[in-house]
Amino acid sequence: MNKRKIIGISIYIFFIALPIYWLVMMSFKSNEEILGSLTYWPQNFSFDNYITIFSDPSWYMGYVNSMIYVIMNVIITLLTALPAAYAFSRYRFLGDKPLFFWLLTNKMAPPAVFLLPFFQLYSSVGLFDTHIAVALAHCLFSVPLAVWILEGFMSGVPTEIDETAYIDGYSFPHFFIKIFIPMIRSAIGVTAFFSFMFSWVELLMARTLTSIHAKPIGAIMTRTIGGEGVDWGLLAAAGVLTIIPGCLVVWFVRNHIAKGFALGRV
Amino acid sequence: MNLKVQNNKAWFLVLPVLLLVAFSAVIPLMTVVNYSVQDIFDNSRVYVGTEWYREVLNDPRLQASLIRQFIFSGSVLLIEIPLGILVALMMPTKGRMASLCLVVLAMPLLIPWNVVGTIWQIFGRADIGLMGAFLNGIGVNYNYASNPTDAWFTVLLMDVWHWTSLVALLCYSGLRAIPDAYYQAAKIDQASAWAVFRYIQLPKLRNVLVIGVLLRFMDSFMIYAEPFVLTGGGPGNSTTFLSQTLTKMAIGQFDLGPAAAFSLVYFLIVLLVSWLFFTTITHLDNKK
């Protein structure tokens, strides 16, 4: 490590942290203080904004709803993407390349006009305003990405391992669960992180497919914009709370990210 | 690279993914194709063929926002990819500092997109925001709500803040995959830092960079929530990007037919650029 690197990365970290610092500070201020003058530190430090959120079910249920569909999405994504990625990394089969690219194209459709057919589709199968509807809709982009990342990792695992296991009499499911999956733990960590991330931050689909029971926190936050203007303090507090779950996830997978794509296509 | 075996039974392993994605992808796509060739008028539908496509392609508003969109995505890629590589190279490799850097770096990625817009909306305000007040304090007449240059600057800065971390994280994990022996060999050869980067690190980063460039292109080309919250597309139309024009058309004016035609054209542009990029890269690979 030389000094130039340390200075460089410190500047970048400072640049990342500054807007977040401002958000956190605002969440502890009252609206009078936020709009009154520029203060770098809250004059009257108060938890009022957070108390409002945690004491009102219509607020905190937003976080619960978002968490539920994001976790569902991560589980569905991993369960389906793992075998598919294995197939892509080990076998050639009819239409494999077009299929792989087709999966990726699903991330490329502009949502605005697709929202209406989405709404109609999920209403017609009776899933409107359920967590599973949002989880399934988010699979549209999380599954292709997961297959892509996992395939890269799996291609780095030598096929000799599979062959030896089959000679030893392992059946495919037994081998896959007992031997292969533990070998690519890091890959699963990284994939789970990406699925979590993209599902947690997506809002257009989540908002379209829900009304009351599964409404995500991002949609609830818009109600801070009311008749008498924006309730900045409350909005900031709600924003801060949206960052925390993600930070916990990163903390858990940090070592996997560091090992990262080590096995993979790199 | 492992040799792949021909085996059509592998389809069974892919089937769950195929069904899952097709359920959400095919029917909506067909519906949109349907809208794009029909005139929907109360309950009657008239087949209009390619009329909406012609109308959409000749719409100056759309052409303007398409150009704006290409400039935006191009600038985003030009800034974020080199900066992301640089950040990844500067990051500490082990210990607590590495963990801390990872977490801080990942933070902007984990904030819902409309909240990102909100953060910068406040942060840039000249009266109550840190950045706005600071810039005005040192004598720059900065106001993103009324000056188009400032608005562009803010939207770009916001995107760099939001997404450079993705490139950095991908490159960071790519760099960790390089065995120490490579660096030792370079040291014996007395290779310069630039040579190490050019001939050891950069080739090893190739694959993560492909993922990074494609993801950044797709997401920046479809950016919606952040500029919508930050500037509302203004001042004037200066930061109205493609998806915002589309949304205005679909929801604001109830022009479902042209909007559907437009979103298919939009989809095809993203598809074409990604495909060109993807095949060029694979082609270059095969040449080696």
Spans of chain A, pLDDT less than 50: 262-266
User: A259 and B173 in contact by Cβ < 8 A?
Assistant: yes
Q: Which helix (H) or strand (E) holds B69?
A: helix B60-90
pLDDT tens string B88-135: 999 887 778 888 888 888 889 988 888 888 888 888 887 778 888 888
User: Which residues in chain A have Cβ-Cβ distances shorter than 8 Å to B261?
Assistant: none
Q: pTM of the entire structure?
A: 0.87
Give the per-residue pLDDT at B162.
Answer: 93
Indicate whether B181 pLDDT > 90: no
Considering only CA atoms, which of B58, B57, B115, B69 is closest in space to residue B240?
B69
Please state, in angstroms and rounded to a whole number, the distance separating the CA atoms of residues B286 and B218.
25
Q: What is the ipTM of this complex?
A: 0.85
Show the tokens assigned to B267.
Answer: 């989809």
Give the per-residue pLDDT at A6.
Answer: 86
Neighbours of B249 (CB within 10 A): 24
The structural domains of chain A, ordered by start, are 1-46 (no CATH), 57-263 (1.10.3720.10)
Q: Residue A94 class from Cβ within 10 Å (0-12 exposed, 13-18 middle, 19+ buried)?
A: exposed
Residue spans per domain, chain B = 60-286
Measure A266 CA to nearest chain B CA, in Å. Answer: 6
Give the per-residue pLDDT at B179.
Answer: 78
Considering only CA atoms, which of A237, A233, A225, A184 is closest in space to residue A53?
A237
Give the per-residue pLDDT at B165.
Answer: 92
**Do residues B104 and A16 touch, judged by C-beta distance below 8 A?**
yes
Strands (E), chain A: 91-92, 225-226, 229-230
Please list, in sequence order, all residues whose beta carbon lies within 8 angstroms of the beta carbon of residue A128, skipping any fewer than 6 positions away.
Answer: A119, A122, A209, A210, A211
What is the residue-averaged pLDDT of chain B? Answer: 84
pLDDT tens string A92-104: 888 888 888 888 8
For B3, which DSSP code?
P
Percent of chain B residues past pLDDT 70, beyond the cut: 95
pLDDT tens string B213-245: 988 998 899 888 888 888 877 787 888 888 888
State the CATH class of domain B60-286.
Answer: mainly alpha
Q: In A, residues 2-61, which contact B (CB 8 Å cutoff)?
A: 5, 8-9, 12-13, 15-20, 22-23, 26, 34-35, 38, 40
Please state, in angstroms and rounded to a whole number, the distance separating the CA atoms of residues A205 and A223.
18
Interface check for A86 against chain B (CB to CB < 8 A): the answer is yes
Give the per-residue pLDDT at B2.
Answer: 59
C-alpha separations of A226 from A216, A223, A230, A234 in Å: 19, 6, 6, 12
Please state, in angstroms and rounded to a whole number, the distance separating the CA atoms of residues B169 and B214.
15
pLDDT band at B180 (very low <50, low <70, confident <90, very high): confident
C-alpha separations of A131 from A50, A69, A248, B9 in Å: 25, 5, 22, 33
Give the per-residue pLDDT at A258.
Answer: 66
Asked if residue B235 has a cis previous peptide bond (ω within 30° of 0), the answer is yes
Count of residues making up chain B: 288
Mean pLDDT calculated for residue range B183-204: 87
- Please give the full DSSP string across A202-256, using - where no structure is assigned: --HHHHHT-SSTT--HHHHHGGGEETTEE-HHHHHHHHHHHHHHHHHHHHHHHHH
Give the per-residue pLDDT at A265.
Answer: 44
Nearest-by-CA chain A residue for B128: A38
User: B29 and A262 in contact by Cβ < 8 A?
Assistant: no
Q: Considering Cα of A180, then A185, then A189, then A190, what sign does the dihedral take? A: negative
